[in-house]
Amino acid sequence: MVNAQTKILGVIGDPIEHSLSPLMHNFILKKIGMNFCYHAFRVTDSQLPEAVAGARALNFRGLNVTLPHKTRIVRFLDEIHDEADDLEAVNTVLFSHGKMLGFNTDVIGFMLAVRKTGVDLAGKKAILIGAGGSAKAVALGLLRLGSNEISIYNRNEIRAQITADFLKKKSGSNIFSARALSDWQLYRDVENAAILVNATSVGMYPDFEQIALPED
């Protein structure tokens, strides 16, 4: 039961209506008997500074961060740790002793998901659709899983190139390339790739039938 001692957790993003995080987290919290309540909050780009300040003022205990705020929230945090620092992208915020601490669990989460499928990426090509904070985490995960060639496709080729250059600099590896999503090279790459990962918002609930690839 929610009472005056209930601690607040949540997830912020836009859109957020698709999120199953409240259902999953509240089920687990109830199961283990913790007096926490987890909510989903729609926060637009322009609302992000106020939302972060409000969460701090209201003594939130933690936040998950999803599209499109994973990179933008970094500037509002007191500290960023581990892979969040490497990627300059945060998906988890911990409120501790008056500070907001940023972490990134996307890399390990993606790697665990791939390993569960049994797909071996060692020495193989990977295709990544998207160029945001989630894409950076996926790209790093693909590199750690042994992929030797990672092609980044995005509607905006310039943004794809910026992401590829960022990853080259951070990882010290030159296996990243960038192309526009409309480039016909995509179809040749698909034929030779071991995995294709969609790191965009296309296809999220409830629009499962949408695909990130060009229809033609």
| Pairing status of strand 176-180 against strand 149-154 | parallel
CA dist., res. 209 & res. 169, Å (int): 36
CA dist., res. 211 & res. 148, Å (int): 26
70 is catalytic: yes
Residues sharing a CB contact under 8 Å with residue 200, sequence separation 6 or more, in sequence order: 129, 130, 132, 135, 212
Q: How many CB atoms lie within 10 A of CB 58?
A: 9
Catalytic residue among 7, 30, 70, 170: 70
Backbone φ and ψ for 142, nearest 5 degrees, come out as -60, -40
Inter-residue long-range contacts of 15-24, CB under 8 Å, 24+ positions, other chains counted: 15/42, 15/201, 15/204, 16/40, 16/41, 16/42, 16/43, 16/66, 17/42, 18/204, 18/205, 18/206, 19/66, 20/205, 21/64
Closest Cα to residue 184, out of 209, 208, 151, 148? 151
CB 107 within 8 A of CB 83: yes
Show which residues are catalytic: 70
